Amino acid sequence: MIDDLFRSPQTRRMIFKLGDNALVLQNFLAEKQTQAMIKDIINIINIVPFRYMFTPSGHQMSVAMTSCGDFGWITDNKGYRYTRVDPLTNTSWPKIPSSFYRLACQAAEHVGFINFKPNACLINEYTETSKMSLHQDKDEKNLNAPIVSFSLGLPALFLWGGLNKSDKVVKVRLQHGDVVVWGGVDRLRFHSIASIASGSHSELGRKRINLTFRQVQRSF
Ligand code: MD3
Ligand code: FE
Enumerate the domain spans of the chain.
30-158+181-192
Model confidence over 45-90: pLDDT tens digits?
999 999 999 999 999 999 999 999 999 999 999 999 999 999 999 9
Bridge partners, residue 81, by sequence: 74
Question: What confidence score (pLDDT) does residue 71 get?
Answer: 97
Q: Which atom from ligand 1 is nearest to the alpha carbon of 137?
A: 12
Q: Whose CA is nearest to atom 20 of ligand 1?
A: 191
Q: Match domain 30-158+181-192 to its CATH number in 3.90.79.10, 3.60.20.10, 1.20.1530.20, 2.60.120.590.
A: 2.60.120.590
Among 68, 121, 149, the mutation site with the greatest number of ligand 1 atoms within 8 A of its Cβ is 149
Q: Which atom from ligand 1 is nearest to the alpha carbon of 186?
A: 22
Question: What confidence score (pLDDT) does residue 10 get?
Answer: 64
Q: Cα angle vertex 156, ends 155, 157, to 5°?
A: 135
Bridge partners, residue 76, by sequence: 79
- Give every residue of the chain whose pLDDT is below 70, as ranges: 1-10, 218-220
DSSP 151-185: EEES-EEEEE--SSTTS--EEEEE-TT-EEEE-GG
